[in-house]
Structure 1
Amino acid sequence: MFLAPAILMLAVYLLYPLVDSFRLSLLDWNGLGSDARFVGLDNWKKLASDTLFWEAAWNNILLAVFSVLVQMPIALVLAVVLDNAGRGSRILKILYFLPLLMSSVALGVLFKYFYDVTFGPLNAILDFVGLGYLAQDWLGDTRLALGAVIAVVCWQYIPFYMVLFMAGLASFPAEISEAAKLDGASETTIFWKMKLPHLKGTIRTAVVLSVIGALRYFDLIYVMTGGGPEGASELMATYMYRNVFSSFQLGYGSTVASGMFIIVILIASVLLRFSKRYETEV
Structure 2
Amino acid sequence: MKHKRLAMNKDTRLTIALFLIPTFVFYVVLVVVPIFQSVRFSFYRWDGLGPPTRFIGLANYKEILHDQVFWKALKNNLIVVFVSLLGQMPPAIFLAIILTGKIKGKSFLRTVYFAPQIISTVATGYLFYYVYEPTFGLLNQLLRSLGMGWATRGWLGDPSIALYSVLFVICWKYIGFYMVLFMASIEGIPQELYEAARIDGCTSWQTVRKITLPLLSPTLKTACVLSIVGSIKYFDLIWVMTTGGPARSTELIATYMYKKTFLSWQMGYGSALAFCLFVIAVGLSLLFMGLSKINRDVSE
TM bucket (normalised to shorter chain) is over 0.9
C-alpha distance in 1 between matches for 2:66 and 2:244: 20
Residues 61-70 or 78-87, more deviating: 78-87
1:12 paired with 2:29, answer yes
Count of residues in correspondence between the two structures: 282
Q: CA deviation at 1:65?
A: 0.2
* 2:50 corresponding residue in structure 1: 33
CA apart distance, 1:74:
0.6
1:183 paired to 2:200:
yes
Of the structure 1 ranges 204-213 and 219-228, higher mean CA displacement relative to structure 2 is found in 204-213
Q: How far 1:40 sits from its partner (Å)?
A: 1.1
* Correspondence for 1:277: 294
Please give the per-residue CA displacement for 1:208-245, whole angstroms capped at 9, x wherever unaligned: 11111101100000000000011100000000000011
Q: Is 1:60–1:236's contact at 8 Å kept on the other side of the alignment?
A: yes
- Corresponding position: 1:245 with 2:262: yes
Listed one character per residue, the Cα deviations across residues 92-136 of structure 1 (whole Å, up to 9, x for unaligned) are 101110000000000000000110011101001011101110101
Query: Deviation string for 1:166-217 (max 9, x for gaps)?
Result: 1111111111111211221111111111111111111111111111110110
Q: Distance in 1 between matches of 2:35 and 2:52?
A: 22
Separation in structure 2 between the aligned mates of residue 92 and residue 280 of structure 1, nearest angstrom: 38
- Give me the whole-angstrom Cα distance separating, in 2, the residues matched to 1:175 and 1:76: 21
Larger Rg: 2
Pick the aligned partner of 2:249 from 218, 232, 237.
232
Residue 89 of structure 2 aligns with an amino acid whose one-letter code is M
Is there any run of 5+ residues in structure 2 with no aligned partner, and where? 1-16
Mapped contact 1:240–1:257 kept (Cα < 8 A): yes
1:66 to 78, 83, 100: 83
* 1:262 equivalent in alignment to 2:279: yes
1:147 is aligned to 2:164: yes
> How far did 1:36 drift?
3.6
- Aligned pair 1:122/2:139, yes or no? yes
Greater mean alpha carbon deviation, residues 150-159 or residues 31-40? 31-40
Aligned partner (choices 52, 57, 66) of residue 69 of structure 2: 52
The aligned counterpart of 1:42 is 59
**CA separation of 1:120 and 1:218: change in aligned 2, threshold 3 A:** same
8 Å Cα contact 2:44/2:52 also seen in 1: no
Contact preservation (8 Å) 1:72, 1:161: yes
Do 2:41 and 2:52's aligned partners in 1 also have CA atoms closer than 8 Å? no
Alignment of 1:98-109 (within 5 A): 98-109=115-126
SS at match of 1:85: coil
**3-state SS of 2:153 partner:** coil
The one-letter amino acid of 1:224's match is M
Classify 1:115/1:36 alpha carbon distance in 2 versus 1 (closer, same or farther; 3 Å).
Answer: farther
Partner residue, 1:80 = 97
Aligned to 1:200: 217
1:276 positional shift? 1.7
1:122-168 CA deviation, whole Å, 9 max, x = no partner? 00101110111010111111111101001100110000110111111
Where 2:105 maps in the other structure, the secondary structure is helix
Deviates more, 1:170-179 or 1:106-115: 170-179
Q: Deviations over 1:17-72 (max 9, x none)?
A: 00000100011111023464111111111011111011101101000000001111
Q: TM-score, normalised by structure 2?
A: 0.92
For 1:200 and 1:281, the matched residues in 2 are separated by 15
Gaps of 5+ in 1: none
Q: Distance in 1 between matches of 2:152 and 2:102?
A: 38
Give the superposed CA RMSD. Answer: 1.1
Paired amino acid for 1:170: E
Residue 217 of structure 1: aligned partner: 234
Partner of 1:111: 128
Distance 1:88 1:113 in 2: 31
Query: Which residue type is aligned with residue 270 of structure 2?
Result: G
Structure 1 vs Structure 2: percent identity of aligned residues?
A: 43
The one-letter code matched in structure 1 to 2:27 is: L
Contact 1:200 1:279 in 2 (8 A): no
